[in-house]
Structure 1
Amino acid sequence: MPGHRTSTNARRRGLLVVGAWVAFAALAAGSFATGALVANAQPPAVADALAISSPAPSTPVSTVPVPTRRPQPTAAAAPEAVRTCSVGSLAAASGMGTFQGTVRKADTGEILFDRNGSTYSRTASVMKVLTSAAALAVLGPDYRVQTSVVAGDTPGTVVLVGGGDVTLASGSSNIYHEASTMGQLADQVKAAWAADPAHAGVPISTIVLDSSLFGGDPWQSSWDRVEQTDGSTAEITALMVDGDRANPSADTSPRSADPVSRAGQAFQSALGSIASGAKLVGGVASPGAVSLGAVRSAPVSTMVQEALLRSDNTEAEMLARLTAIKLGAGNTFASLQAAIPKALASSYGLDTSNLVIVDGSGLSNDDAVSALFLTALFDKINAREANLGVILDGLPVADQTGTLSYRFTGANSVVNGKVQAKTGSIDTANTLAGVVHAADGSTLTFAFFSLDSSIDGGRAALDALTVGIYTCGDALSNG
């Protein structure tokens, strides 16, 4: 029937509307935001009905749990070196005597190995490293030492003024590199003398020798005089030639009892006939005296490297004394105790409070330095801090240069070219300190003391231990 169909269709539409309302109410209960979107999407009649029949919604509270923040991963720690390589037996070798020593990893300063490294003991010639570092800081690498001649107070008098240059050559050359000569100085004086009408035809009758720049006893009281007679060390005076060697071209040569007079004689000889009858007398130049000539030494950088390579005691003492004078500490051996530690502390930040500095060369048994101090200094040398690269470049190299050119032979030759170090030997101590470029590519600084050992036994033991740390490298154990 048509009417029935109409009623049925109406009922169906009513049910669909009711169903839509039920579905919409369920969605609205779950989420206000979603319900609002649905309502906005309905025809106007549905939206109006919803607004009339539904209570005003409150602010929804989220029921979704907030996730807990997970800990963020940190960068993986660098793996620690496995240090199981021991050199303990080498340090305790019978030829070593009483051993003290320290090894550091150069780039970090980490102490890898230590045996009584804080004990202060005699260093022998390793002391020259401290002297060199102080001289480079105070004098500077370009400083040159001057020897001059000025007019005297009376006619016919000249004054030869020593500035501390022990490298000045008596003749045409000597063992020192870039040394000025007495001949060069004499030529200047003769020219100046001849250019002054007051001196026309007048010979030089008196040569005054002024060595007053250095004071006190020229020989350190704790030194053995055999060093002078056998030829390794001169008396320390501000005026001398050839390091006071009898043979200017020999490293080791007997030294005289009067370096100042020997220098005066060399100058007189270089002047020739103009001063052939001149008297040599001691004295001091007057302030403001007229200059007649001057020559200068090689720069400090050159002299430092010479002193290290040859272990030249006299050259090292010159550098130490000039450093003390420049600092205003004095001009005697006693002044070095104030000067050298002050230079090292102020220039490189080292703790120098326990250093004992009796001389600049290390000849004295009374000097006292620790292995810990030396390795701290060598860390700075290896890093070329300030002007310390001069020392690094001047250190003897195993089987190549200086006092290491004849060391590390046979099985020990594995370190040839890999060890840069300063040697030291006196009657009561053998020492070795410097830098090792180890087999694994790491760089180590070290300082080893072999006390109360024989020269041959101590050196052999020190060499073997050095080879040991070269082999171990960063795996070096303190056990």
Structure 2
Amino acid sequence: MKETSSQPVADDAPLRPAKDPVKGRVTRLLKAWPEALLLLLTVVLAIPVAMMAGPAFVGPGQPLSTPAPPAWQRPPATLAPRQGLPPLQDSAPVPLPSAVSTQLEALLKADGGGGFTGLVQDALTGQVLFDRGGSDNRIPASNMKLLTAVAALRALGPDHRFSTRVLSGPAAGQVVLTGGGDVLLGAGDSMPAQVMGHAGLATLAVSTVAALKEKGTAGQVTVLVDDSLFSGPALNPAWAQGDVEAGEQAPLFPLALNSARFDPVATTGPRPQDSAVTAAQAFAAQLKAAGAAAGLSVTDGVARFQASSGPAPSGPASSGPAPSAPAADGGGPAVLAEVQSATVSQQVDLMLQTSDNYLAEILGRMSAVAAGQPGSNTGATEAVRKQLTELGIPTDTMRLADVCGLALDNQVSARQFAEVVRAITSGTDTRLRTALAGFPVAGLTGTLGARYGDNATARGAGLVRAKTGTLNSVIALSGYVVDADSRLLVFSFIGNGLTPGAAGNKEALDRAATALAACGCR
């Protein structure tokens, strides 16, 4: 039963209006709006927080999908086809001599006076493909360094190194810096990864101080220098005085800093005129710095070692042979310290790449010393001739005035240079292969790095590899190239009597070599 109120209602009580249900709902919504807005904001902020914090509680989930990168950013599905030159094949066709001659005769034209000789051979068979005065003697300029490279690699061996030693001196407190043929010494620490500066005088000084301490040496130390490994004139009389003054060459000694340069990066300008004393002074400075903590002091100045009458005053090298220090064995003076050069093959590469005249002459003289001959200019030229003869290359017509190519008295034929390149690339003496890396690459390295950049020669860039040669009226290029049919060709082009500075002569050589690289001459 539904309960009812028993309270009476007075007749005179005022009447209350009825409530509007819609208005009531609006009122309640307005009152609740701040709380709803706050709740909505909380939810919105909580979603990203939950997404970041969630994996920490429930572990890693599936990564969100991302659009695939463009094709050029994706790893390749298959390897690209092999590019570059195909392997050389003995069965590759040999160019027709008539076709080769037709191309080269049109290109080898002198710009002004003079003219070119040249020879091209198939490297494998020796077949002559082009011959324009190939047997005529010519001034070869720096192509001479190819002959020196062959002689050094054969007489010394690719892996041979030159030693620079410090020996006990004849009197107490004396040390003798002894040159052994390394003219690429650095003044600082040895740098094993470099050719120039491979052996450093700072490293040698530190080792010397350690040896002196072990011997109980204290007090003052005097540095002597022994440069007696070489004999004869330090300057070749066949070199023009103007070339020497311009820094193309310098007096030769069996030890030097930076290939007888004041700065290892300098390739022109004045040179030390006594590189042995210059190196000894640098060593004395390093010895002074290294010996200070060990209680050693180093006297100012250096003197040349004299076997008979004691040290002589420091001064220019004598033009005649000097007595050498006793050997460091058989009861001779003790070897206190030693550093070794880069290998002969590495030095040959540097010589060919940069056409370093000083280094070429040193390698020639060291080849003579290795054969038991005097370390002189005559010894160097005879050592080169001997090695070429033993290699089977006729030398009867050659005239060798030096081994770097600076002398105008040199006379060598294009045929002889082509045969030398052929011996390097494909001859039976595999020691010569180590010289291949030294050939400048057209448009990329060494003395060919700035060439082969125009439309007429660009096809030879990266393919032509050759030794350059340049004097005032002489230009030469001897090297090798793989033709369009994968045949290895060797060549030598030599221009004499040319108009000095005529740009077309260098261009003629580069175009001729480029034609060989592009040759499918059948």
TM superposition score category, shorter chain reference:
0.7 to 0.9
Q: 1:422 matched to which residue of 2?
A: 467
Distance change in 2, residues 1:148/1:79 (3 Å): closer
Q: 2:493 matched to which residue of 1?
A: 448
Q: Is the 1:317–1:360 Cα contact (8 Å) retained in structure 2?
A: yes
| 2:512 matches 1:465 | yes
Q: 2:231 matched to which residue of 1?
A: 215
Distance 2:449 2:466 in 1: 11
| 2:303 matches 1:281 | yes
Q: 2:360 matched to which residue of 1?
A: 316
| 2:445 matches 1:401 | yes
Give the letter aligned to residue 357 of structure 1. Answer: L
The one of 351, 363, 376 equivalent to 1:332 is: 376
TM-score by length of 2: 0.72
Q: Secondary structure at the match of 1:441?
A: coil
Give the letter aligned to residue 213 of structure 2. Answer: A
Q: Is the 1:96–1:457 Cα contact (8 Å) retained in structure 2?
A: no
Query: For this pair of structures, how many residues does the alignment match?
Result: 394
Q: 2:21 matched to which residue of 1?
A: none
Q: 2:16 matched to which residue of 1?
A: none
Q: Secondary structure at the match of 1:462?
A: helix
Distance 1:134 1:233 in 2: 21
| 2:344 matches 1:344 | no
Give the letter aligned to residue 512 of structure 2. Answer: L
| 2:453 matches 1:434 | no
User: In the TM superposition, what is the alpha-carbon distance from 1:318 to its structure 2 partner?
Assistant: 1.0
Q: Secondary structure at the match of 1:208?
A: strand
Distance 2:283 2:510 in 1: 45
Distance 1:339 1:376 in 2: 18
Distance 1:431 1:208 in 2: 43
Distance 1:233 1:187 in 2: 32
Q: Secondary structure at the match of 1:410?
A: coil
| 2:342 matches 1:298 | yes
Give the letter aligned to residue 212 of structure 1. Answer: S
Distance 1:79 1:123 in 2: 28
Distance change in 2, residues 1:410/1:379 (3 Å): same
Give the letter aligned to residue 115 of structure 2. Answer: T
Distance 1:303 1:275 in 2: 35
Q: 2:183 matched to which residue of 1?
A: 166
Q: Is the 2:183–2:258 Cα contact (8 Å) retained in structure 1?
A: yes
Q: 2:70 matched to which residue of 1?
A: none
Give the letter aligned to residue 211 of structure 1. Answer: D
Cα RMSD for the two superposed structures:
2.1
| 1:192-246 Cα distance to aligned partner (Å, 9 max, x none) | 111112x2x3220x22111000111111112123434433333211122111212
Q: 2:142 matched to which residue of 1?
A: 125
Distance 1:383 1:79 in 2: 16
| 2:109 matches 1:92 | yes
The one of 127, 132, 136 equivalent to 1:115 is: 132
| 2:245 matches 1:234 | no
Distance 1:88 1:80 in 2: 15
Q: Is the 1:151–1:157 Cα contact (8 Å) retained in structure 2?
A: yes
Q: Is the 1:442–1:474 Cα contact (8 Å) retained in structure 2?
A: no
Q: 1:75 matched to which residue of 2?
A: none
Distance 1:474 1:325 in 2: 46
Q: 2:409 matched to which residue of 1?
A: 366
Q: Is the 2:197–2:258 Cα contact (8 Å) retained in structure 1?
A: no
Distance 2:378 2:478 in 1: 26
User: In the TM superposition, what is the alpha-carbon distance from 1:82 to its structure 2 partner?
Assistant: 7.8
Q: Is the 1:125–1:361 Cα contact (8 Å) retained in structure 2?
A: yes
Q: 1:260 matched to which residue of 2?
A: 276
Q: Which runs of 5+ in 1 are unaligned?
A: 1-77
Distance 1:401 1:433 in 2: 15
Give the letter aligned to residue 457 of structure 1. Answer: G
| 2:199 matches 1:180 | yes
Identity %: 34
Distance 1:414 1:381 in 2: 24
Distance change in 2, residues 1:375/1:180 (3 Å): same
